[in-house]
Structure 1
Amino acid sequence: MTPAATDRRPVMLVDHRDLDFVHRGGAPGGASVARAVNSQVSPHLGIGFARWEGAEVAWTLLYDEVIFVIEGCFELRANGELYRVEPGQLLWIPEGTELVYGGHALFGYVVHPGDWKQRHGLI
């Protein structure tokens, strides 16, 4: 049995220019992130945008992540490799990867699971 049309959640259109970006890294440089779809909307995916302006942020992923570049050149160091990602390209990065985000870019990201902070007791 399929749910009635009124039981379905609405489709969302999100423009990065309408979001509040939160500072996440720097100096030197800067980095900011804006979550577009949070765990209240979907526990399965976390989706947002980020602006990287030369900051380098080290992190070990607690989720699978996809990064797709919109403008500029995003850089990622992981597993002894440097990845330079340009508009029209994306990266898939598996959970547990130790990495350093960098570069100068506007990019979108998707993480799975979207409720990773709760699963790891971070909120």
Structure 2
Amino acid sequence: MSNLIHFKRDELSFQPYSGQPPERASICRLIGPDASSSMGAGLACFDGCSIEWTVLYDELIVVLEGHFRLRVGERVIEATPGDVIWVPERTPLAYEGDQARVFYALYSVDWQARNA
């Protein structure tokens, strides 16, 4: 049997994200290279911030709470709980939100090593 992991909500640890104050942007990395050889996953919170980034992996985002925005050039995707967004590798974007909490999954988990 595989090594299953159960992440309990009250035991999650969020860290400041991308140099932002933790009340503006935070991230909880759940699955990384130590747990999986193929995919990564976690939770992120955005509130009154804009974080620019070019994804170096394929990413799937599921909005859990609040209002999430994804800016890609002139296009703005407005997403609410239950919405799902697919982001292909090498997409330049900005993550934004108002009391937004999202779940993300990414492939490949070793994106940092591949892009070193």
Fold match (TM-score > 0.5): yes
TM-score (norm 2): 0.89
> Runs in 1 of length 4+ with deviation above 4 angstroms?
none
- In the alignment of these two chains, the number of paired residues is 113
Aligned partners of 1:108, 1:24: CA distance in 2, in Å?
Answer: 14
State the structure with more CA Rg: 1
Q: Which residue of 2 aligns with 1:112?
A: 107
Could you say what secondary structure the match of 2:33 adopts? coil
CA RMSD of aligned residues (A): 1.5
CA shift, 1:89, in A, is 0.8
Q: Tell me, yes or no, if the aligned pair for 1:69 and 1:85 is still in contact at 8 Å.
A: yes
Q: Report percent identity of matched pairs.
A: 33
1:15 corresponds to 2:11: no
Does residue 24 (structure 1) correspond to residue 17 (structure 2)? The answer is yes
5+ unaligned residues in a row in structure 1: which ranges? 1-7
Q: Is the 8 A contact 1:16 1:49 kept in 2?
A: no
Counterparts of 2:83 and 2:53, CA distance in 1: 22
State the alpha-carbon separation in 1 of the partners of residues 85 and 9 from structure 2.
20
Describe the superposition over 1:27-68 as per-residue Cα deviations: whole angstroms up to 9, x where unpaired.
Answer: 6x7101010111111121110001111110000110000110
Amino acid paired to 2:107: H
8 Å contact 1:59–1:99 — kept in the other structure?
yes
**1:17–1:50 Cα change, 3 Å:** farther
Residues of 2 paired with 1:71 and 1:58: CA distance? 21
1:38 to 29, 32, 45: 32
Which structure 2 residue ranges, 5 or more long, are not aligned? none
The corresponding residue for 1:72 is 66
Separation in 1 of the partners of 2:66 and 2:84?
13
* Aligned twin of 1:3: none
